């Protein structure tokens, strides 16, 4: 079959333009074109797990919507599992699973178990296969005690685990995840990431992961595709992205009172001050320990934290280069 070959997701010169009407006078409206996706190309092999990242408004959701057949492309070529997502949407639906971190696909008032029963009927999943898939998700995502709880009573992390399960009951070959760890605590994040690793290894599910959390990518994806303003900025190994984009971490320092910008700390420079709070950038490859001990010895320190660079920082640095 065409889709069993090398390229499982095949995106060539894909574009999407929206026409937006703006009011420019009392009675006047002008139509403006927004190029949300502007000629991007990338391919994903079967079983690959790739990060799909970019700043707000980069065109990620629009691309995912075209990959799932919700939106029709304005131009270019698109195949998922050998299928044109827009033309053969009903065929594709059985082969893909989608999870949106900020929305649930579960029925709010129903216990998880009943939602899953509805999913089974919608996708006509054979009973034995359904039970096997559910049991595996329940075990790995520790959902056992939650199956009879209505969705609205679940915490965000529990709900997310519930949503991921719902997306996998019909054995999809491709899983699209849009911010699956947003708002989750450290324990839930770790559980979700571990689950995705296992899923990818055991089932060979192809995963495209959109996230603003760089550590999601670091822990899950060897490969990243970066887009900005609808264009492809980078496609390659995560290590390469580190090299081009990732240079510095930031020490956020709270002092007892407002002071002039901290100076003279080797390897660090103050990049921002706001009242008694100061932000010091230092190389990501360096240890923070000597900086912290010098700060503690020489300044009236109340608190401090270390901020890892986020996707926006990385992309800003890619531009700077």
Ligand X SMILES: Nc1ncnc2c1ncn2[C@@H]1O[C@H](COP(=O)(O)OP(=O)(O)OP(=O)(O)O)[C@@H](O)[C@H]1O
36 part of the interface to ligand X, by CB under 6 A: yes
* Rounded least distance, CB 18 to ligand X, Å: 3
Q: Which residue has the tokens 């956020």?
A: 252
Which helix or strand (DSSP H or E) is residue 210 part of?
strand 206-210
34 part of the interface to ligand X, by CB under 6 A: yes
Q: Where does this chain touch ligand X (CB under 6 A) — which range of 55-63, 113-121, 142-150, 168-176?
A: 55-63
180 part of the interface to ligand X, by CB under 6 A: no
193 part of the interface to ligand X, by CB under 6 A: no
SS3 250: strand
108 part of the interface to ligand X, by CB under 6 A: no
Q: Where does this chain touch ligand X (CB under 6 A) — which range of 59-67, 99-107, 156-164, 305-313?
A: 59-67
Q: How many residues bind ligand X (CB under 6 A)?
A: 12
Going from the C-alpha of 116 to that of each of 110, 121, 201, the distances in angstroms are: 10, 9, 24
33 part of the interface to ligand X, by CB under 6 A: no
| DSSP 8-class letter at 262 | P
* Rounded least distance, CB 220 to ligand X, Å: 18
Q: Where does this chain touch ligand X (CB under 6 A) — which range of 51-59, 117-125, 232-240, 248-256?
A: 51-59
Which helix or strand (DSSP H or E) is residue 271 part of?
strand 269-274
59 part of the interface to ligand X, by CB under 6 A: yes
Quick check: 192 and 184 in contact, CB under 8 A? yes
Burial of 76 (0-12, 13-18, 19+ CB in 10 A): middle
98 part of the interface to ligand X, by CB under 6 A: no
SS3 199: helix
62 part of the interface to ligand X, by CB under 6 A: yes
102 part of the interface to ligand X, by CB under 6 A: no
Please identify which residue in 29, 33, 57, 222 interacts with ligand X, judged by CB under 6 A.
57
Please identify which residue in 21, 56, 186, 305 interacts with ligand X, judged by CB under 6 A.
56
183 part of the interface to ligand X, by CB under 6 A: no
DSSP assignments along 96-119, one per residue: EEEEETTS--S-TTSBHHHHHHHH
Nearest Cα neighbor of 254 from 206, 201, 200, 295 is 295
* Rounded least distance, CB 238 to ligand X, Å: 19
* Rounded least distance, CB 104 to ligand X, Å: 17
Burial of 24 (0-12, 13-18, 19+ CB in 10 A): exposed
Dist. CA 310–CA 241, nearest whole Å: 12
State which residue, 56 or 90, has the beta carbon closest to ligand X: 56
* Rounded least distance, CB 82 to ligand X, Å: 25
* Rounded least distance, CB 155 to ligand X, Å: 23
Which helix or strand (DSSP H or E) is residue 244 part of?
helix 238-245
Chain contacts with ligand X (rule: CB under 6 A): 18, 20, 34, 36, 54, 56-62
């Amino acid at each position: 079959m065409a889709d069993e070959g090398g390229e499982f997701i095949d995106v060539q010169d894909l574009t999407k333009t929206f026409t937006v009407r703006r009011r420019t006078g009392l009675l006047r409206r002008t139509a403006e074109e927004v190029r949300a996706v502007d000629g991007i190309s990338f391919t994903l092999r079967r079983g690959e797990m790739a990060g799909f990242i970019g700043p707000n408004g980069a065109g990620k959701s629009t691309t995912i919507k075209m990959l799932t057949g919700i939106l029709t492309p304005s131009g270019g070529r698109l195949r998922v599992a050998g299928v044109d997502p827009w033309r053969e949407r009903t065929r594709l639906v059985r082969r893909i699973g989608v999870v949106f971190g900020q929305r649930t696909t579960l029925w709010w008032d129903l216990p998880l178990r009943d939602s899953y029963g509805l999913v089974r009927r919608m996708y006509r999943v054979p009973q034995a296969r359904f039970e096997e898939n559910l049991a595996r998700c329940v075990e790995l995502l520790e959902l056992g005690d939650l199956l009879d709880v209505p969705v609205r009573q679940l915490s965000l992390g529990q709900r997310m685990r519930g949503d991921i399960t719902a997306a996998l009951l019909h054995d999809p070959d491709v899983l699209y995840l849009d911010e699956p760890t947003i708002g989750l605590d450290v324990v839930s994040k770790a559980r979700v990431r571990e689950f995705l690793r296992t899923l990818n290894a055991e089932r060979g599910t192809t995963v495209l992961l959109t996230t603003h959390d760089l550590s999601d990518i670091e822990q899950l994806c060897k490969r990243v595709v970066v887009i900005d303003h609808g264009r492809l900025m980078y496609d390659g190994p995560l290590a390469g992205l580190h090299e081009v984009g990732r240079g510095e971490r930031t020490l956020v320092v709270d002092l007892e009172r407002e002071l002039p910008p901290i100076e003279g700390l080797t390897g660090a420079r103050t990049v921002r001050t706001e009242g008694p709070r100061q932000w010091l950038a230092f190389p990501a490859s360096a240890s923070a320990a000597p900086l912290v001990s010098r700060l503690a010895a020489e300044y009236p320190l109340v608190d401090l934290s270390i901020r890892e660079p986020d996707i926006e920082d990385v992309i800003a640095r890619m531009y700077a280069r």
